[in-house]
Structure 1
Amino acid sequence: MLIRILICVVVISATADVESNIAPVPLELKLMCAAKFDSDILGLYVENVTGSDHVIHIQCSVDGNKGDTLSFRTLQEHFHQFRGISIFLQIRCSNRGEISLPWPMKAQGLVGLVVYNCGMTQKYADFGSLELLTMPDFLRVLEIRNSAWLSDDTDFYKMINPEGLASLTSDYDCGQDSTIEYMVTSNVSYLFTTPSDGRTLAPDLPSDTRVQDNTYGSNQTFNISNQTMYTSSENKSSEDEFLNLLRSLQSLKLQCHFNKLKLLDESIPHVLPIHHFALMVLGATYPELKVMNYSFSGIRQLPEELQDFRKYFPKLELLDLSWNYLTEVEIGTRPRGVDGRFLTLDVRHNLISNLSVENISSWAMADGVLVDIRDNPIYCGCGMQPLLQKIQSGILFVGKLDKYSYIQEMRCAEPLGVRGLRLSEVTLACGKDNEVSSPSLDTDKTVNIIIVSTVAAVVVVVAALLVVVIVNLRLGSERFKRCLMDFSKSPLETDAEAGKDCQKTKEVF
């Protein structure tokens, strides 16, 4: 789906008609692409691959430094000559190599398309094309990773203005929904350009979550921040614009039926609109979807459509929301999915710090669901004391709660005194001021008190000794001065006793 799920998929391929000896790759692409028969390639992505599926596997390398360009239109025209042959196309770009790839990328016999590290252009070039209405769907596998759509923003706004929306069809909006089984658009960004300033290159993104970026063959690590990942409702103009688009699409009553889709991965998006999931389920069905991946997506709150996932995705088995910014998890209590399907909700590496008996009990009430909250920064403060007591009593994880027994092996992230301890090991001593302590923390406090007391005593003794020494020094100095004066008055007189006293005083001084 183009607007609906922001799915940008690239379908470039070359096929071979063995009987007519037509080359699988167009002559102008011979230096970039190579082809071979490979009936196993499709089975790496989807099920139900029969031995009768004759697949030509085409691999293309697009090097920006060599001035390589690859046009989907060229491949589309070439593939039109073939019948009864399936094509699986893989395109790998380097050094900011680019390909033109109009949505929805239909081509005769093209069953698989994989794109890595490419700049993609002309996304909306086929909008309004009547040829698309007569061409059947073929595509079963779509995978685009570490790439960017380069587009003049005027193309997009022409499509979503009132006149453009009036001509929008389900065939264009939904893409090849009747055949698609495996759909991945991971780490794909949208870079708008203008005719005046030319292409806009990918900017350096702010840091927050480390992700490998191979866009345009950079092979460098960049980071994704909250702002670049998630459109906040605080941006009122963008929010209103998106809601208006949502209402316009509702009025069109477009229908998308992804009857064969089993895997959907839109992880690491550059921007994920707040209403993405509302738009995703609008007029669309996903009766066979088993896996959804929205990790590294900047999600701060579980959307209603995902809380009530059984309503929209009855056979979902894995919902990956790891590495986001969730602070709590709320899920509906709908019954187990179709055919007793069991769902794992992966919310590891989020910002969930508070945990209670009520939380775990509410998750357990959702039949056929397991919430995985490991690797979250759990704060083991006094607010968690009831849960910790239940854990250590050994009576919590029984019955429906048994599947959450892994929680007792999770470790505290804060406070410092209990950091790293398992929840089953932590004993809190919460006073009236809700101070947190543990056996290890109490021992540390005792040792610290002894050390401080000892140091204080030593300081007092040393200070007293210094006072005594200073006083004695001052007294001795006065006596020595008097002796010198006596000697100066009668230097020739010999007073043995006085000399001895002065000598003692001098030695002391």
Structure 2
Amino acid sequence: MTNLNLKSFHAAFIRLLVLTAFYEISTGALDVSFQSDCRKNYKGDQDCYFMVQDHWDFLKFRKWLDNLNFVRDVSLRIACAEGGSLYIPWPMRARNLKKLEIKDCLLKGYFDENNVKSKYPDTLEVRNIANSAIEISLFEWFNMIKDMQPTKSYTCGQESLVKSIERNNTYRFVNTPKLPGRELFDVLSQIGDSFRDKVRTQPFDCHYKRLIYLENSDNPSLGKHFMEDLTLHSNFPRLKALNLSFNRLSQLPLELKKWYISFPKLEYLNLSNNDLDTFSFTDPKRFGRNKGLHVNLRNNNIRFPPRDFYRYPHRSVPISVDLRENPIR
């Protein structure tokens, strides 16, 4: 190779290094920080896991996915160390995101995209959020609800879900006025009622046509209207398992007594570890399905089963009930 060719080669190589560095700084800097925590298989699927020590931004990760040339299914798993937080607005859409698991995190910015039209379609199939807290600014929450115009995309979340788990999650209120405990509770109740009123009058339904497993457990603040809110404008034509354990439920909601209306394919209902002292399930009569329903009522306060309990196994949809760890007489 001549000296002239060598000089041309060196110059081109230096230009390439400069361009590469510029690209990483301007558009691809996120590639370095996220790629090291993601594994890519031969199909182009990304499996990403992050252990958060301080703070992690879902929007940056979403932008990183947008900048990838080729990506198929994405699995995102996040666990937080003590004091770790996560900025992630509901309903958590991102390019080709199929699986999302969050554990032990403080979730910030949860309502920040309530008036933002998403450019991402529903792709999420598995959502699992456990042992986490959602941070809410009381003033921002109030203003959001006051100006809120329910939209299908935001209110329904991702209708592509197959499995949805919310376990042992709470709310952490910030910027709260200094009021006595009872008055603060009344303020929170009024804001919650306003939110319910807007959702109840929404002009659309949510269709969870693929959802098979739904869990909202270990949540004592679930509220007495939870089942009504869940089923009023939502359809669950394929749901097979519903887990409402560890929620301190003291009464069986009407929507569960007549389970077949909202959950025609339901096969397993977990109501264990609540405070129920009685139960009763309506017979659908000539319902047209072969599979029965199993109800887990272990560890409640049930002393007497319903009078027609002996008929449960002989109904059009047979019902079996687990009553262990109850003070049955």
User: What range is the shorter-chain TM-score in?
Assistant: 0.7 to 0.9
Match status 1:269 vs 2:219:
yes
Change (3 A) 1:336 1:84: farther
Q: Secondary structure at the match of 1:266?
A: strand
1:377 lines up with 2:327 in the alignment: yes
Query: In the TM superposition, what is the alpha-carbon distance from 1:97 to its structure 2 partner?
Result: 0.8
Counterparts of 1:80-479 in structure 2 under 5 Å? 80-82=66-68, 83-130=70-117, 132=118, 134-161=119-146, 163-164=147-148, 166=149, 168-177=150-159, 179-194=160-175, 242=192, 244-335=194-285, 339-355=289-305, 358-364=307-313, 366=315, 367-379=317-329
- For 2:326, what is the secondary structure of its paired residue? coil
Identify which of 23, 27, 32 aligns with 1:27.
Answer: 32
Deviations 1:216-265 (A, max 9, x none): xxxxxxxxxxxxxxxxxxx8887676555434323222310000011111
Q: How far 1:95 moved relative to its partner?
A: 1.4
Name the TM-score, length of structure 1 as normaliser: 0.54
| CA apart distance, 1:34 | 1.4
Q: Distance in 1 between matches of 2:288 and 2:47?
A: 36
Is the 1:257–1:285 contact (alpha carbons within 8 Å) kept by the matching residues of 2? Answer: yes
Unaligned runs of 5+ in 2: 1-23, 179-184
Give the SS at the match of 1:252: coil
2:65 alignment partner AA: F
Report the alpha carbon displacement of residue 85 of structure 1 after superposing the two structures with TM: 1.2
**Counterpart contact for 1:343–1:369, Cα < 8 Å:** yes
**Map of 2:50 onto structure 1:** 60
1:36 aligns with 39
- How much has 1:335 moved relative to structure 2? 3.5
Pair member with larger Rg:
1
Q: Whole-Å Cα distance in 1 between the matches of residues 91 and 108 of structure 2?
A: 13
**Retained in 1: the 8 A contact 2:297–2:321?**
yes
Aligned 8 A contact 1:295 1:321 in 2: yes
Q: CA deviation at 1:69?
A: 1.4
Q: Distance in 2 between matches of 1:60 and 1:24?
A: 17
Spell out, residue by residue over 1:317-363, the C-alpha distance to the aligned partner (whole angstroms, 9 max, x if none). 1110000001111111104766423211111110012247x242253
Q: CA deviation at 1:73?
A: 0.7
Partner of 1:408: none
Is contact 1:348-1:373 (8 Å) kept? yes
Query: What is the alpha-carbon distance in structure 2 between the residues aligned to residue 368 and residue 89 of structure 1?
Result: 40
Structure 1 contact 336–368 (Cα < 8 Å) conserved: no
- 1:77 maps to 63
Secondary structure of the 2:173 match is strand
SS, match of residue 361 in structure 1: helix
Q: Number of paired residues?
A: 296
Contact 1:352 1:376 in 2 (8 A): yes
Give the aligned residue type for 2:270.
D
State the shift of 1:149 in Å: 0.7
Query: 2: CA distance between counterparts of 1:353 and 1:245?
Result: 37
The answer to whether the Cα contact below 8 Å between 1:301 and 1:326 also exists between their aligned partners in 2 is yes
C-alpha contact 1:189 1:270 (8 A) present in aligned 2: no
After superposing the two structures, state which structure 1 stretch, 138-147 or 240-249, moved more: 240-249
Q: Match of 1:118, as an amino acid?
A: C
- State the alpha-carbon separation in 1 of the partners of residues 287 and 261 from structure 2: 9
**Percent of pairs with identical residues:** 25
8 Å CA contact 1:289, 1:315 repeated in 2: yes
- 1:369 alignment partner AA: I
CA–CA distance in 1 between the matches of 2:34 and 2:55? 9
List runs of 5+ in structure 1 lacking aligned partners. Answer: 1-20, 40-52, 198-234, 380-509
Is the alpha carbon distance of 1:156 and 1:264 closer, same or farther for their aligned partners in structure 2, counting shifts above 3 Å?
same
Conserved in 1, the CA contact under 8 Å of 2:250 and 2:276?
Answer: yes
Moved more, 335-344 or 254-263: 335-344
Cα distance between partner residues in 1 of 2:286 and 2:123 = 33
Change (3 A) 1:34 1:28: closer
